[in-house]
Structure 1
Amino acid sequence: MKNYSIEIKWAIRFTLLTLAWAIGEKFAGLHDKFIADYALYTNLFGFPALLFFILALKEKKKYFFNGTMTWTQGFVSGVILSFVIALFTPITQYVIYKSITPHFFDTIIAYKLKSGFMTAEVAQQYFNLQTYMLQNSFSNLSMGIITGALVSLFIRTKK
């Protein structure tokens, strides 16, 4: 586990960032009053997420690989980081949608129905805690692997 302590530390930080982002969205009204803008602004989370991956892999390069890291080493570190984040995601989603914003799913379903984007059946299948736990776990894993691969390309030691 000591070999992966940097990834675990950054996954915990990423989890806290996700919770802080959800709190910010809630206080900005994106979970109720401005629900129509939710999809646009929630995607901005990609910027701090990218920053966290850069910082995590730079730390791994500096302290674990003594300043020299190949693309493969960075990529593996990114995969491990993504996997740990994906493991924490269901807990994060539970906290967000049970504590921070417990009426989110009712609000977004009502918005989707009112705007005519979805039928009630489709909206209820899509917007619920179990679906969000699965979707976000797989999204965090897949996007994390892609991000790790790209970040590793830029921070690897060039010979």
Structure 2
Amino acid sequence: MGNIEQIEQLETYINDLGDEIKRVKKASEYLKLIEQFQGEVANASVNLEKSGDNLKVYQEIVESKLELFHTTSKNLEAKQQFLENNQKRIIESLAELKQQILTELNRIQDEQKSVLKLISQANKKYTIINIVMALPILGILVYLLIK
């Protein structure tokens, strides 16, 4: 009987060993799956690092373009301010020139009125002188005609 017990015990060990082998096999398969998963995670990590690097490059590009935009914007604002100041000075100059022209036109008009007044007075004087000079001549003519 000792043999049968040993055989049964050996059979139990074999069954246990078979079960253990199945568990080891299953664990080995799990390990392979874990290793595959780790490989995929490593690949994903590499891809994420590359994406992160690409994003950094894109961010630098966008930041440099934004800086360029701000610089251009400031330059345009400065030019616009310069043009507005020039326009203001031109408008002020034109207003001053207009005032000077109006003043000069009024002065010329006053001078012309004065000259016309003087001419009118001179004409009156010459008319009186002509009449005064014409009367003796008329008187002499009338005297000569009567005689």
**TM-score of the two chains, using structure 1 as the length reference:** 0.19
Higher helix share: 2
- Higher-Rg structure is 2
**If the length of structure 2 is used for normalisation, what is the TM-score?**
0.20
Relative contact order, higher structure (CA 8 A, sep 6+): 1
